A and B are shown apart, each in its own frame.
Chain A
Amino acid sequence: MNSPILLQPDETFILNVGPQHPATHGVLRVKMEMHGEYIVNAETVIGYIHRMHEKMGELKTYPQFLMNLSRMDYLGALGYSHGHVLLVEKASGIVVPERAEYIRAIMVELNRIASHLFWFGAFVMDLGGFSPLMYALQDREHILDMLEAVTGSRLTYCYFRFGGLCNDVDDDFITAARLFIPRMRKSMKKYHNLVTGNIIFRKRLEGIAPLSKEMCRKYGASSAVARGSGINFDVRKNEPYSVYPEFDFDVPVYHECDSLARYMVRMDEIEQSLRIVEQGLDKLPGGPIMPDKKPKLIKPPVGDYYQAVETARGSFGIRLVSDGGKNPYRLKLRSPTYSNMHLFDEACRGMMIMDALAFMGSLDLVIPEIDR
C-alpha cells in the first residue's frame, strides 16, 4: 500500500503566472512563492514588450513622436496624446482655440468610457462571467465607430496636433454622441443589475485585497486604486488642465479599500464621463480647430517642463527637457499602471491565489503601458 505524500508544514513551491497567462491580459509574469494556495512572496517581472519609447522620443522630432503616445495604452490612447500635446504647447507657448480643447475633452472622455467598458468586461471574465464582456464590447463598439469616423483609427489614434486637431467633428458625430449618452445610461443599469448585485461576484471582491492610504502613497498609486482607498485624487480636479474646470462633474471616492471599491469607482466614473461629454456637446463653441499663428518648427525654449493628466488608468506624467533644438533632449513618460502594478508584490502577500488574480484584475493593467 502506498503511503500518502506528506508535505512539510513549512514547505513552499514556486508558481509562475505568465508570461502567457489569460489573467495577466498581456505579457506579464509573476513569480509566486506558494504555501498551498496562499502566496508567501511574489515578484513581478515586466519588460517583455519594452520598446524604449523614451529613446524614440529623443531621436524623433516633436511632431514625429505624436503617434508613439497612442502605442502605449491601446485602450485609452487619447488621454496620453492629450498630455503630450498639452506639454509641448505649454513649453512653446502655443495657444489652442477653445473649440479644439472642447473636442479634445469630449474625445478623451469617450475614450475613457471605452477603456472602462473593456476593463469591466475583462474583469468580470477573470472572475468567471463571460457574457458581460459581450455586452460591454457592444457598447464600446458605438464609441469606436464614432471615434473612427472623426479620427480615422479605432485604437491607435493620432488625432491631436500641437495647437489643435487634425480634423473637425461633423454633425453625424454630434448626433451619434447625443444618442449614445442615454443608451449608455440604460446599459449601466443593466450592468449593475447583472453584475454588481451578483452574490458570487461580491463574495469574490468584498474585503479582498485591502490597500491602505499609506501604501498607495508610498507607491504613488493613482486612478481607481487610490480613489478606492479613500484618497480624493483626480488630476482633472486637483491640477485642473484643459477645459475641465468648465465642467461640472464629481470624483467618485470609496473608503472600503477593497477590490469591490475599485470596481465601483470605475463604474461610477463612466457616469461622470458621460456628464462631461453631455456638457461638452452643449457648450461646444464654434470657430477654428487650429490656431492662426503657429510656429512652423516646434522648438520649445531651453528648460524643464512637466505635465500631468488624468488618463483612464491614472495620473500620467510627461517630462520634457529641452535644449532648444528640434528634438527633445529628454522625454520621460511616467505611466500610471507602472506604479499601480508595483504595489502588487507587497499587497498580495498572504492572499489566496484566486483572490490575487481578482486583485490584479481590479488594478486595470495594460501591459504595453507599463513596459513602454
Chain B
Amino acid sequence: MICKKIKLAFQSLFPEPVPVPVPAEAESVGEDQDKKAKSPTPPRTDGVVEREYSIHGYHLDAQLAPAQLITAVTLLDEAEFFIESITGVDWIKDNQLEVVYDFSRYDFDLCRVVLRTRVDRKSPEVPTITTIYPGANWHERETHDFFGIKFAGHPHLIPLLLPEDADFHPLLKDFKA
C-alpha cells in the first residue's frame, strides 16, 4: 500500500511520466550470466522503478538528479520512513560517482526505498540531508571519507572513520594503497 503511494508521489517528481523499464537482471538465470557481464545495461538517467523484492531485497528504486534529492527525502520523511544507510558506488567507466540512500519503515506494511543520484567524478557534490534526518550525519561523513563526495551544507564534514589528516579515498576504484 505505502509502496504504491510513494511510487505515485515520486512519479510527480519527473515531468514526463517515465515508462517503467523492466530490470534486465531480474530474469537472468544460469548461463546467460557471462553474456550479461560483458554488456551491462546502460545506467538509467532518471525515473522510479519497482524491483522484485525476493531477488533484490527492496521494493522501489528511484534515480534522481541531485537537485531532486531534498524533495524526495522530505516525501519519505513525511511517510515516516527511517534512514537505513547512505553509501556510494564508484562507476569509474561512466566517470561518475553514485550516492545510494536506503530507507525503510518500522511497519509490517513493508516498503524499502532506494534513492540513487549520480554526480560527476571530478566535482562530486550533493546536498546534505542532515537537515531532515540528523542521523544522516555520520553516514554522509563516512561516504565523504570513502569516496570524497562533498555533501553541501553538512555541518561537520571531517573524517569519521579514517585518520583525521586523511586525504585519500580508499573506495575509489583508482585508489592505490
- Which residue on chain B has the smallest CB distance to residue A91? B55
Determine the chain B residues whose CB is within 8 A of the CB of A218 once the complex forms: 82-83, 133-135
Determine the chain A residues whose CB is within 8 A of the CB of B138 once the complex forms: 338, 342
Partner of A55, one of B84, B110, B137, B171: B171
Chain A, range 209-228, C-beta contacts under 8 Å to B:
216-221, 226
A220:B40 contact, CB within 8 angstroms: no
B102:A319 contact, CB within 8 angstroms: yes
Given A218-B135, A332-B85: A306 and B112 interface contact (C-beta under 8 Å)? yes
B84:A346 contact, CB within 8 angstroms: no
Name the distance in Å between A370's Cβ and chain B's nearest Cβ. 9
Given A54-B146, A238-B108, A334-B85: A220 and B162 interface contact (C-beta under 8 Å)? no
CA distance A308 to B89 in the complex (A): 19
A302:B135 contact, CB within 8 angstroms: no
Answer whether residue B22 sits at the interface, using C-beta atoms and an 8 A cutoff: no
Determine the chain A residues whose CB is within 8 A of the CB of B1 once the complex forms: none
Interface digits, A285-311 against B, CB 8 Å rule (1 contact, 0 not)?
000000000000001011111111000
- Which residue on chain A has the smallest CB distance to residue B142? A338
Determine the chain A residues whose CB is within 8 A of the CB of B28 once the complex forms: 301-302
Determine the chain A residues whose CB is within 8 A of the CB of B102 once the complex forms: 306, 317, 319, 334
CA distance A235 to B23 in the complex (A): 26
B57:A307 contact, CB within 8 angstroms: yes
Chain B, range 17-35, C-beta contacts under 8 Å to A:
23, 25-26, 28-30, 33-34
Determine the chain B residues whose CB is within 8 A of the CB of A12 once the complex forms: none
Partner of A232, one of B30, B90, B106, B162: B106
A324:B36 contact, CB within 8 angstroms: yes
Given A217-B80, A324-B33, A334-B84: A306 and B58 interface contact (C-beta under 8 Å)? yes
- Which residue on chain A has the smallest CB distance to residue B134? A218
- Which residue on chain B has the smallest CB distance to residue A324? B37
Answer whether residue B161 sits at the interface, using C-beta atoms and an 8 A cutoff: yes
Answer whether residue A65 sits at the interface, using C-beta atoms and an 8 A cutoff: no
CA distance A58 to B173 in the complex (A): 10
**Interface size bucket, B side?**
35 or more
Given A54-B146, A220-B84: A303 and B25 interface contact (C-beta under 8 Å)? yes
CA distance A231 to B108 in the complex (A): 11
Answer whether residue B11 sits at the interface, using C-beta atoms and an 8 A cutoff: no
Name the distance in Å between A298's Cβ and chain B's nearest Cβ. 11
Segment from A45-53, A70-78, A260-268 that makes contact with B: A45-53
Answer whether residue A80 sits at the interface, using C-beta atoms and an 8 A cutoff: no
- Which residue on chain B has the smallest CB distance to residue A230? B106
Chain B, range 76-120, C-beta contacts under 8 Å to A:
80-85, 87, 89-90, 100, 102, 104, 106-108, 110, 112, 114
A220:B56 contact, CB within 8 angstroms: no
Answer whether residue A37 sits at the interface, using C-beta atoms and an 8 A cutoff: no
CA distance A100 to B82 in the complex (A): 33
CA distance A239 to B161 in the complex (A): 30
Determine the chain A residues whose CB is within 8 A of the CB of B171 once the complex forms: 54-55, 58, 330
Determine the chain B residues whose CB is within 8 A of the CB of A371 once the complex forms: 161
B34:A220 contact, CB within 8 angstroms: no
7 smallest CB-CB distances across A and B, nearest first, come from: A324-B37, A219-B135, A306-B57, A303-B25, A47-B161, A334-B85, A233-B106
Residues of A bordering B, CB below 8 Å: 46-47, 50, 52, 54-55, 58, 87, 90-91, 93, 216-221, 226, 231-233, 237-239, 299, 301-308, 315, 317, 319, 321, 323-325, 329-330, 332, 334, 338-339, 342-343, 346, 371-372
* A–B Cβ pairs within 8 angstroms, 26 of them: A50-B162, A216-B106, A217-B80, A217-B106, A218-B134, A219-B82, A220-B83, A233-B107, A238-B106, A238-B108, A299-B37, A301-B28, A303-B26, A303-B56, A305-B55, A305-B57, A306-B102, A306-B114, A317-B84, A317-B85, A319-B102, A324-B37, A329-B89, A330-B171, A334-B84, A342-B135
